[in-house]
Amino acid sequence: QKEVEQNSGPLSVPEGAIASLNCTYSDRGSQSFFWYRQYSGKSPELIMSIYSNGDKEDGRFTAQLNKASQYVSLLIRDSQPSDSATYLCAVNILGSNYKLTFGKGTLLTVNP
């Protein structure tokens, strides 16, 4: 069973702080990694993608990938109340015919 694990949270941070969200995956053949944000009652929307080891920055968001440790993370700098949402980690596994396997998500709350 190929799995993607996330801490369910809730993760609570004060406004302006750095929020760190973590994800581990079980299949070493995984090749593409995505972070989706889902506001309550809404659909998931892609905020970051990463394919190679290291860091990828986009505005206040940084995705980090370590394939040796089978670990991917998302850092949100200068957290805002509008960042409060559930963050879903998704993995595309080699040979899975484009299927994305999602973690159950981490609920982030940013307190003003």
Distance from the first to the final alpha carbon of the chain:
40
CA distance 9 to 20: 11
Min dist CB 15 to other proteins, Å, is 28
Compare residues 18 and 94 and give the one whose CB is closer to other proteins.
94
Buried b (16+ CB within 10 A) or exposed e, 74-112: bbbeebeeebbbbbbbbbbbeeeeeeebebebbbbebee
Compare residues 24 and 101 and give the one whose CB is closer to other proteins.
101
Compare residues 79 and 92 and give the one whose CB is closer to other proteins.
92
Q: Please report, as ranges, the residues that interact with other proteins according to CB under 8 A.
A: 31-32, 34, 42-46, 49, 51, 88, 92, 97-105
Compare residues 74 and 79 and give the one whose CB is closer to other proteins.
74
Q: E strands along 10-83, which residues?
A: 11-14, 19-25, 30-38, 45-50, 54-58, 61-66, 71-76
Min dist CB 60 to other proteins, Å, is 19
Min dist CB 32 to other proteins, Å, is 5
